[in-house]
Amino acid sequence: MSHEVSRRSFIQSTAAATVGMSVSGASAFQASGANDRVVLAVVGTNGRGAQLAKLFSKLPGSEVGYICDVEEKALAKGVKAVTGVQAREPKTAVDFRRALEDKNVNAVVIAMPDHWHAPAAILACAAGKDVYVEKPCGHNPLEGELLVAAARRYNRIVQMGSQRRSWPNVMDLVAQLRSGSLIGRVYFARGWYVNTRGPIGVGKEAPVPAGLDYDLWQGPAPRRPFKDNLIHYNWHWFWHWGTSEACNNGTHEIDVMRWAMDVNFPTRVESSGGRFHYKDDWECADTQVASFGFEGGKSFIWEARSCNGFKTEGLSRGVTFHGEQGSVLVDDNAYTVFDQKHKVATQVEDVSEQSTVDITGPGDRLDSYHLANFLDCVRSRKAPNADIEQGHRSVLLCHLANVAYRVGHTVRCDPANGHVLDDKAAQALWGRTYEPGWEPEGFRAART
């Protein structure tokens, strides 16, 4: 597909979706018929998207109607994921906008590279589709704001893939922490993520692999030559397409901390780190520490080591909360409460340890809670557990950590909206430039 055809198709799709969508609030699901079946288009199925397609196809009243990907091999992975699970074989499309034109599609599941998340979700909203979008909800802070605005403008259900918001024990823990009934007032938290990622090498310009529409893969991002160390995962570590470990994994712990401590936008963000482990093309930090301060004195920190898997508190990822009457260590859907003398007061195990009954399988159970919540909200029109406005607020903290790291100094923020105050260097990283003609809806107005 040529660059000009792709760009022109993007503009035409945006315009058609905007004109054709009624803003009355009637959902595509409600218009599709009397039954409760939700038809989904899953976009980006090389990895996480194939997992989501399989899980959605297993849930009652859900059908994957489309598998969409810019690469032929990934399309095949997506189809294979649902084959034999659901009755009907899904349609396939290289360009996901074809699925947006299908009136039988109720919702779109977005698991594309980060630079596509918000533009694709905004297009889906404008086409009258509800959206499940993987984290982060945008490539930069402005995109998160544009997506929230689009969800409200078109009356769409938009859920971000912050699945801990639907995990039973985490939901119960957060309620107790916010009420002060567990360890008193919580004033500080710490989150972390570690891994043992290897080097990505020094890429060389190479021919685009057969079966890959690289122009459409780049989509909204300004064009760059294809290099042999970019696809499928290494794009995460280039600022042009990715958002670093902070948005890639830190989103989960930062979201839980912000949620449990009942805070929204920070007053200050600090971050330091660097690329220490290998000399290669990796542009982001492989080691990063970020500190967030909020009104009232509450604060939390998040740290990551992408290439050093030494565990913290015996865990590769987790959160500790500290309150006036004790502390809590969170290990995914399990947690331990410690009193002021550091003795175990309560231990809550993951529900998988308590019951062998689940709706999919042991490895998929927790994700399924979140996906089922999304489907329920598509039907009921109630706000989902990880509504996009909450998703944006948590992802914004991750972006601000990256901004502070990149400018090399503390970033001061407006506690009303998280916007950067009096800092031209940091404000320059609030948005991005786009390939001409690929700007998401609302971008031009936001920049004037």
Token representation of residue 83? 């084959």
What is the C-alpha separation between 281 and 298, in angstroms, rounded? 37
Task: Strands of 195-325 (E only): list them.
Answer: 268-274, 287-293, 299-305, 317-323
C-beta separation of 167 from 333 below 8 A: yes
State which residues of the chain have pLDDT below 50.
Answer: 1-5, 8, 11-12, 14-27, 31-34, 355-358
Report pLDDT for 147. 98
Report pLDDT for 35. 66
Report pLDDT for 206. 98
Report pLDDT for 6. 52
Question: 317 pairs with which residues across the strands?
Answer: 193
Report pLDDT for 108. 99
Report pLDDT for 447. 63
The pTM score is 0.92
Report pLDDT for 414. 99
Report pLDDT for 311. 98
- For the domain covering 3-164, report its CATH number: 3.40.50.720
Q: Where are the alpha helices (H) located in 127-193, listed in sequence order?
A: 141-153, 168-179
End-to-end CA separation in angstroms for the chain: 32
User: How is the chain split into domains, by residue range?
Assistant: 3-164, 167-201+227-356+388-427
Token representation of residue 264? 């929204």
Contacts 24+ apart (CB under 8 A), 379-382: 379/29, 379/36, 379/38, 379/61, 381/25, 381/27, 381/30, 381/157
pLDDT tens profile 33-48: 436 899 999 999 999 9
What is the C-alpha separation between 289 and 302, in angstroms, rounded? 6
What Å distances lie between residue 299 and 3, 200, 346, 410, CA to CA? 46, 34, 25, 14
- Yes or no: is domain 167-201+227-356+388-427 CATH 3.30.360.10? yes
What Å distances lie between residue 156 and 23, 65, 123, 148, 175, CA to CA? 9, 19, 12, 10, 27
Q: Calculate the CA dihedral of residues 45, 249, 153, 37 and round it to 10 degrees.
A: 40
For 379-398, b/e burial (b = at least 16 CB within 10 A) is beeeebbbbbbbbbbbbbbb
